[in-house]
Amino acid sequence: MGVLALSACASPSADYPSLAIRDVERARGQFEPIAVDPIAVPEVPVSYEGSLEERLAGLVGAARSAHQRFVASAPAARRTVAATGRTAVGSSAWGAAQVALADLDSIRSDTAIALADLDILYIAAAIAAEDRAQIDAARSLVIELVEEEDELLAELRERVEP
């Protein structure tokens, strides 16, 4: 059987395409390398002026301030969510819980904005091949605050969802 299959490749019949290199497959011409611009380190658009230490202190301070507002607002949100129980979606108690959660989300976003600015500083320092230890320490602190806020929001949302 194998002999018959191989004999088809060697047959002089015009039914099979040629395996020879075609004209379009031949490489012609010259290729020029593309000129590449050097990488430009972007300006860091943060709202705090001054040295790196001053900017980090300002961003961490803003995150802590937002976190304190979050912690201060959390008990009222807990009470509102607890009063909701498992009421129907669309009820006034459910709506009040949604507003309380939205208020906490809004405060959480202020903490996250400080984290975003720290991320920008971190990326700019990485691109410039600068030491990022101070920025990383500040980011870690703010990440802990955001994670704490996320845990509370998840817990409260779980109580409100039907």
Tell me whether residue 19 is in a domain: no
Q: Is the pLDDT of residue 32 over 80?
A: no
Cα dihedral 19/21/23/25 (nearest 10): 110
The total of structural domains in the chain comes to 1
Tell me whether residue 13 is in a domain: no
User: In what helix (H) or strand (E) does residue 35 lie, and over which residues does it extend?
Assistant: none
Model confidence pLDDT, tens digit, residues 139-153: 999 999 999 999 998
Q: Is the pLDDT of residue 7 over 60?
A: no
Model confidence pLDDT, tens digit, residues 88-121: 666 777 778 788 888 889 889 999 999 999 998 8
Tell me whether residue 39 is in a domain: no
Tell me whether residue 6 is in a domain: no
Tell me whether residue 84 is in a domain: yes
Tell me whether residue 109 is in a domain: yes
DSSP annotation string for 48-95: --S-HHHHHHHHHHHHHHHHHHHHHHHHHHHHHHHHHTTPPTTSHHHH
Tell me whether residue 9 is in a domain: no
Model confidence pLDDT, tens digit, residues 38-96: 766 556 555 556 788 888 998 999 999 999 999 998 988 888 887 776 666 667 777 78
Tell me whether residue 125 is in a domain: yes
Range of the domain at 83: 52-160
Report, as an integer, the average pLDDT of 16-44. Answer: 73
- Which residue type occupies 92? S
